[in-house]
Structure 1
Amino acid sequence: VSHARPSPSRTPERRRSTSPQTSFRERYGARKQHKYLHQKTAQPLPQRS
């Protein structure tokens, strides 16, 4: 019971605190990295070929 109590108690508090920042930062970072990776990998591939 002691092990299952800190798990759910820390999950909502930490998730709610980093929900807006993590969501925006993760979404922006993932989008920027995906576009950068896609452009870098898609440009040199067709150009080199």
Structure 2
Amino acid sequence: MQSLLYATMLLFAWSVSLTHLSLHFLQIPEEDRLLAGVFMGAAYTLFGVPFTGWV
């Protein structure tokens, strides 16, 4: 159970930080950030799922 919590927190930190950096570096306009952030966050979460098996 504890490793599941670690994996969840790692995946959350991974997706939030990469989404924030991507929105900043791609200079997404303010009105489009919510929609772009949702899709980027989902994509980064899916990319990070295989790495949670190592935790």
Listed as ranges, the gaps of 5+ residues in structure 1 are 1-19
Give the structure, 1 or 2, with the largest relative contact order (CA under 8 Å, sep 6 or more).
2
Structure ranking higher in helix proportion: 2
Relative to the length of structure 2, the TM-score reads 0.46
Aligned residues: 28
Relative to the length of structure 1, the TM-score reads 0.50
Runs of 4 or more, structure 1, over 6 Å off, are none
Q: Note the aligned Cα RMSD (angstroms).
A: 1.3
* Percent of aligned pairs sharing the same letter: 11
Larger radius of gyration: 1
Listed as ranges, the gaps of 5+ residues in structure 2 are 29-55
